[in-house]
Amino acid sequence: MHWYEKLNQYFPIEEMKSQQHMETLLKEHPEMYHKDEGPNHVMMYAELEDFVFIDYLFVSKNARGQRLGHKLLNSLKGKGKPVILEVEPINYEDTDTEKRLKFYKREEFQHASTVGYKRRSLATGEINTMEILYWTPVESSEVAVYEAMKKTYHLIHTYKDNEIYGESYDPVEEVLSIKTPAENLLEEV
């Protein structure tokens, strides 16, 4: 099965980039956007100077339990940079969402609780709320994660969006937000 078909069958349509979008990134930015593919996995990621962004990580069901996901994440962690990704919030009707979050927690990823992310899908028109998870080799602030996500949104998610989809994604300031420490404290009270 083609790598895009694997991703398309696993990820919801509202989270998927088009095949043309990903192939354009691979072709036009091979120094930044990468595909790691094997018989039981597909990982699409962007490596920038100061962080790595995992765009998609798929491990086939028949390879689960063999620590393939752990090995793939360790290959990125080995670059010595923060690793950032987007994940669906837990949906108790979809057990995969809870399994994914537990997997990333076992892999020492933290939830960027101050970073908000709501993106309109060009495929469905729906607004999707995603959570941002990150792993860092050294202590880092969520402000750095927020700045990395802004860069990712600009360089990856919206790359040639109007040309590829016939319309543009919403501006970054409407998609990403960050709470101040005071706002975060008020929520905890």
Q: What is the pLDDT of residues 29-58, one digit of tens each?
A: 999 999 999 999 999 999 999 999 999 999
Identity at 55, one-letter amino acid code: D
Structure tokens belonging to residue 104: 């990333």
Report the DSSP beta bridge partners of residue 86: 132
Identity at 80, one-letter amino acid code: G
User: What is the overall mean pLDDT for the chain?
Assistant: 90
The C-alpha R_g of the chain, in whole angstroms, comes to: 16
| pLDDT above 80: residue 22 | yes
Q: What is the pLDDT of residues 114-129, one digit of tens each?
A: 999 999 998 888 999 9
Backbone angles phi, psi at 85, to 5 degrees: -155, 165
Q: What is the DSSP string of 67-85?
A: THHHHHHHHHHTTSS-EEE
**Measured between alpha carbons, how far is 96 from 102 in angstroms, rounded to an integer?**
10
pTM above 0.85?
yes
Mean per-residue pLDDT for 171-186?
Answer: 78
Mean per-residue pLDDT for 94-107?
Answer: 81
pLDDT at 93: 61
% residues pLDDT > 70 (the chain): 91
pLDDT at 185: 47
pLDDT at 62: 86
**Measured between alpha carbons, how far is 153 from 162 in angstroms, rounded to an integer?**
14
User: How many other C-beta atoms lie within 10 A of the C-beta of residue 136?
Assistant: 18
Backbone angles phi, psi at 168, to 5 degrees: -105, 150
Domains of the chain, first to last: 3-188 (3.40.630.30)
Buried residues in 40-57 as b, exposed as e (16+ CB within 10 A)? ebbbbbbbeeebbbbbbb
Mean per-residue pLDDT for 117-145?
Answer: 92
